[in-house]
Structure formats: structure tokens, C-alpha cells
Amino acid sequence: MTHLVPGFQSNGAEPTDGVKKSSLPLWAVMPGLVYIVIIDLLTVTGMIGLYPWIVQTWSIVLFVLPWVTLLVVRGSPSAYGYTMRRAIAEFGWGMVAGSVWRGLSMGFNLWWQGGWTQIGWGVVYWLGGIVLVPLVEETFFRGYLGRTLASRVGRWPAILIQTILFSLHPGHWAQGYLHLVSIFIFGLITGWLVERRGSIWAGWGAHGFANVLPGIIRFFI
């Protein structure tokens, strides 16, 4: 299903008015929207520990739900911004954005916490940092939720909604308030980047490179 969305060009690089953008109907993302709201509320209230099965499965649900939704509505991955057009270039733009954000975050952590061992999130599995985490989080938050909401409520309201939900999920909330500010900024950056470029690969580049940059720096220091 396609809809007219102001501010988008077919290649995603230079938004223009009156151009069709592929998106899902709003009802199609409501299960995921309700689910992540409940997960975040349980997390910030400290109640999620009462439900071990949720702790063990929430990230799997975030991974599976967008793709099951595509099957149900007979949609295309392009609804989430998965297009082959300029994919490498868009990934590169994301890497630039991700490195800037991560560099500033690392610098702040170094100044605040006083040691390189405190910097970043500690990349244990490179494959997870580059592929698995962006696959789950970029697809769900920036593609499944962000792009669908943007076609209904507008770009910036959608970016803000997905950023809040992204920042408060269990994996991020556990990092503490100081890191939440940085994660929130990252959500805004990647949300804007995906909407501006019209490609989920920009979010992948930012997310993946930001995840592994601390490990790269540690390797050379």
C-alpha cells in the first residue's frame, strides 16, 4: 500500500512534496506499538523482573514482529526502508553520523568517568554489534514504527515517539540515567537520518559502527 507523504523523494536523499512513500497501514503496527509501550512501562517501574519470560523473549518479539507483519499485509521490506538503491552510500552516511555521536559520547564518558575502560557499551560480539543489534532495533524502531508513524502523524512526532520507546527498552534502561541521555540523542539522530535519507541502511551504518567503534579504538590503544 502506498501513501502520499509530504517531504519525501523516491531515492530518499532530497525530500520533496507530493511523492509516494511505501508504508504500512497504522493498524498493522499497533501490536508492536502496544507491546513495546508495555515493555517500557514494566521496565521503568521495575516490574519487568516479575515476568522472567518477558525478560527472556522481548528482543525476539522485536525481531520477529516486523517480518510477520509484512507477511500478513503482503508488504515489501521497502516499507521499512530496505532498498538496494544507494544502500552502500547510505550505510556510509550512517557510519559518519554514528562515529560522530559515539566519539562525543566516549569523550564525555572519559571526562565524566575518568577512564577508557568506562567508555562505550563493551562490544563482546562484533557480529552482534554490526549485524544483529541493528537488524532488530533499526528494523523495529526506525523502520516498522518510525516510517509507519511518520506517514500518519508526521516526521518529527514519529521520530520523537520511536526515540522515547527505543531509549526506555530494558537493554538501554539498565545502563543508567547518564547513558539514557546519550541513547536518546542517538535515537533522534538515527530517526532523522532514516527519514531524511529514506533508507534503513543509514540507520544500520550509524548503529553498527557506533557499536563497534569503542572496540576498534581499544584495539589500537
pLDDT in tens, 108-154: 766 666 554 444 444 455 777 888 999 999 999 999 999 999 999 99
Q: How confident is the model at residue 103 (pLDDT cuts 50, 70, 90)?
A: confident
Q: What is the mean pLDDT of the chain?
A: 84
Q: Is 4 helix (H, G, I), strand (E, B) or coil?
A: strand
Q: Report helix, strand or coil for 22.
A: strand
Q: Residue 94 has what pLDDT?
A: 95
The grid coordinates listed for 96 are: 559518519
Q: What does the block give as the cell for 170?
A: 530494558
Question: What is the extent of the structural domain holding 78?
Answer: 2-220
What letter would DSSP give residue 119? S
- pTM summary value: 0.84
Of 102-106, 120-124, 202-206, give the lowest mean pLDDT range. 120-124
Question: Binning pLDDT at 50, 70 and 90, where does residue 216 land?
Answer: confident
The pLDDT-based confidence of 206 (bands split at 50, 70, 90) is very high
pLDDT value of position 113:
61
Q: Which range (33-47, 97-111, 131-145, 177-191) has the least confidence?
A: 97-111
State whether residue 115 is helix, strand or coil: coil
Lowest mean pLDDT among 2-16, 140-154, 199-213: 2-16
Q: Are residues 174 and 55 in contact, defined by beta-carbon separation less than 8 angstroms?
A: no
Residues 6+ apart with CB under 8 A from 53: none
pLDDT beyond 50 at 199: yes
Number of domains making up the chain:
1
Q: What is the pLDDT of residue 111?
A: 65
Question: Residue 201 pLDDT > 70, yes or no?
Answer: yes
